[in-house]
Amino acid sequence: MNEKQRGILLVLSGPSGVGKGTVGKKLRASDDNISFSVSVTTRGMRDGEIPGVDYLYITEEEFAALEKEGKLLESALVHGYHYGTPEEPVDRQLAEGKDVLLEIDPQGAQTVIRKRPDCVSVFVLPPSWASLRSRLEGRGTETREQVETRLRNAREEVKTVPMYDYAIVNADGPEGIEKAFLSLKAIVESEKYRTSRYSGLIPEE
C-alpha cells in the first residue's frame, strides 16, 4: 500500500497559561515527523524565549505588511499584541508529508478551523480555575491586572470548546503533563488512520 500522504495540520489551543506549549514540546520531542510552526508576534521576548524558535518577533509595521500581502494563515489581536501564522511554510511542510503543529490562541484557532476544515483541533483545558490562576501568577510575566484580564478571557475562550475536534485536560504536576501528552499523542496516531486521509493507491506487487 502506498503510505505517502499529506501531513496533518494539528491545531493546539487553549487559554493563556494552560500549558499548551509544554504539552506541545513533549509531542514534538516524541515524533521527528512533527514540525512546529513558528508564529510571528509583535509582543516583546520573554525571559528564556529564543527568537526563531518560540516566536518570530516583528514590528507592528512588519505585521501589517504580512496581513496586507495575504501571507498569514491566521492572525489575532491578543492581550494587546498581534500574533499570526505564516502560511507558506505550513503548506510546504504539509505537502512534504510532515505533520505541522500550530500552538495558537483560541481566536487564531477558530480562523484555522474555518479555513482548513481538514485540520485536527485540540483544546487544552486547565484542571480548575484556581490552577489556571496559580500558573499565570507563578510565571511572573504579567501584572495582577493582566492576570485578571487573562482569566476573564479564559472563561470566554472555554465556551468555544464545542468548535474543536478534541479536548484534553492538562492537570497539575509532572503526571498531569504526561497524561495530557499521551492523550495528544493518541489523537495524532488515530488521525493518521482516518479513511479521509487514505491515498487509495495499492501497488500491484
With a pLDDT cut of 70, the percent of the chain lying above it is 96
pLDDT tens, 13-33? 999 999 999 999 999 999 999
- Residue 70 predicted with pLDDT over 80: yes
Write the burial class of residue 196 (CB in 10 Å: 0-12 exposed, 13-18 middle, 19+ buried): exposed
- Residue 201 predicted with pLDDT over 90: no
What is the 8-class DSSP label of residue 116?
Answer: -
Taking the domains of the chain in order of start, what are their residue ranges?
A: 9-197
* Contact between 150 and 15 (Cβ < 8 Å): yes
Phi first, then psi, for residue 56 (nearest 5°) are -100, 115
Q: Write down the pTM of the prediction.
A: 0.86
pLDDT tens, 136-145? 999 888 889 9
- Residue 1 predicted with pLDDT over 60: no
155: confidence class by pLDDT, cuts 50, 70, 90: very high
pLDDT computed for residue 115 by the predictor: 94
* Topology classification of domain 9-197: Rossmann fold (3.40.50)
